[in-house]
Structure 1
């Protein structure tokens, strides 16, 4: 009798071979019956890989070219720039040493794609009814060469994955070249330039006092009285009813001042009307200029009668060096044709539709002006006790549309001449009703810095283009969480200001570290965002939802 163990070991391999043969036969039978479905599935997989390849190329184009050129190339596959030498040179310059590997990956994708397309093209088209002979040929090809097709598709996927790896590595190398310095404060650029700007801000902050105190700061006067309202005054009469405005703009060309205090020449102002964010330094000769200003004020006071209209005064006898933090145009518009009697508050702009007032990048420039102005003038006694947009004004023409360029150049705050502004009053001398005390804001709602919080509310109002009650902290925080008008960068800047979250262990605006962080995390990103919107605006309507930049 045969040994049972030997019998089992002899029959088992035969049985397993039969099972494997049956499964293979079953699979082949299934492919023979559903060969059209399998062919369509192979074509779909190849099409998916084609889209993946195009997506990688589009990502590379976006990383390499500017927004406008990238959009042209992505939208038009037959664009002439695809075949130009400029495209190759730009990609080679962007990718550096990886360009050779990139070319190799492109060639690998091309070879794999041609191989699989050549094998699939012999099958009958999906929308054509094939003959019986063609159908039989397709059945046997897909049944016995299916694995070969899948291997070709796998090779195509591997080359596309290699292309993706090269693209990401090239992007990292490009970002490393333009990486910002570490937060640790060193003498390297651009941190050193930020520190220099902070020193300029601090120099102006020391002089953010009431007008009488400014007259006493003879040797350190860094700004001038601009041509804004000066009400009728007489010796011994309080001028509080008619405040005089000032701005930290650059010194204009020489002007003639009439005995009545009228300005008879055109005042030139530069883009530094963000409350003087572009210069610092003073000449020692400013002492005599202050005395001249005092004499002019006295002459204006003596010659003005109680029934006369507003007088204008410009102080231009101060010469100083200019701190060029940003390049400025040589030619700037003048205010000669502008009615400087008509002063409009920024808050009034929110009563109109945004597309009737300004474009998106102009709103960001306005927000930038408010941030810079706050850094300079937050210690001024006349600084707004409420939302910043309620305390900042600009000149406007009578019966004319808003000129945003001139709006940005004539932004100013108004202070009282003489007596200090009492707590609880606004810049126009009116009372301010504060429903929430500062203690409640600090200890109940966790507002670490009221000045930055109110500035954040002002930027939130610009982003939402609606009035936001800064005293309603809950509504402010809900609005900040829902803000998406200008994308991620603007939203993050607003939240940092509202929550006072700048990653430093102080909330004192006099601290250099906090000022540098505001410049780095708010001003610099908003400048870049304004440029992005300026480039993208021709393709979008004003007020349209922005990309998530």
Structure 2
């Protein structure tokens, strides 16, 4: 009975770890016989089914990508969430106890197989060939014992599958759909917020450029990246002769990781020579704002790259080729970034996050290679006839992309509290509008703001809230953006009276329907039942649930 009190999550983790160990063990001597290969194949097939079952149950509680990542990595921080076990209990209900018992059986079967393979010894998997041969012979002699264990494992996994399916059928459809929808803001959203803010602040602090003909620099952050653990940016600079599309753009992938998770071995005696962002660095000649002439810099790439690498090797012998050049140690970060053809380097932010930069090489993935002209502001899409430019599901998808981005970036310098569609841009390509809008991005210049300017902006925001009765400027801006997308018409966001008049009319006549308009209105009013401070987790969860998840559901419904 004591075992029944064990929670499902830790039992599941033990089973997954055991499976990984047995798989490695079988791999060390599977070549010693055809029967062993067959046993290994049967074991892999059953454990794949077990992993699928774990992911399917997790998907009833979490986002699909989160569930998949957790099954792949037993050290994923989401396994330690206090709400995960409660989510299992809520979904399984009366089947929770049976599910836990069956999970215990699977764990025990895996442990039994592991003990048999290791003869009760916790030795390293890299053992002598003679020992491998002996254990392989033992497996062939006692083949029936292993086959029985595999059959028992198969039966237990089948029971696990049956219990999960039964638990799902016992719930009526509305509850099941509700249960499958994540209730809390995914951890990945907070991770993007943390990494993007850290990257922006560090770039502002350490950016340098020694080229006098560079007038200004911009960095454009794409709202959607290829993976959750990376940022996608386009660096663009302007020269005294003006902007030159293609030639002055560089597309980069930024991978961010906590320095606490990186195990970099530094040989003794050279640590004092390391140059980091937080230490004293060479004085910059000038600081500039952040926008391209990478083709021009490419001519100097060999010289600049070689010189910088040589200097770095002398002062930072511990830096490996894997992480590249420490960009904080260079006087001219602009040249270094634009001249490196394959691996650019990294810089360590003061908040102990390492940002690794690498260029996009795949021509099909590269935005710069496919763009036709200068980036266009988002509100330019309303100049196109909506019926021919975009489908209804794609129209809602634009709103969905904005809602996700607000939750990811509202706490960062990338997104100001009072924003409009003109603050967002996209790269025009020869593809359809929906494809071009996949490059939707937000732009910031690398320029230090004066304190009095920041205080003035803050005073304007407070005044706007008081005079217009706006509860939350960020959510109001999102609501106005959604209203314009729904109406396919550009509005003047600062004309609050006109915006509210159009919102009232849209409730009766909207191309996207009343459900969409209700979402837009709730954003404008910040009407979610959890106050008006978007820094509060409760309000973030409510916005995610009632805006992002609702828009996702609406897209699925419209796509049929």
TM range (shorter): 0.3 to 0.5
Q: Normalization by structure 1: what TM-score?
A: 0.45
Query: Larger % of strand: which?
Result: 2
Q: Normalization by structure 2: what TM-score?
A: 0.44
Larger radius of gyration: 1
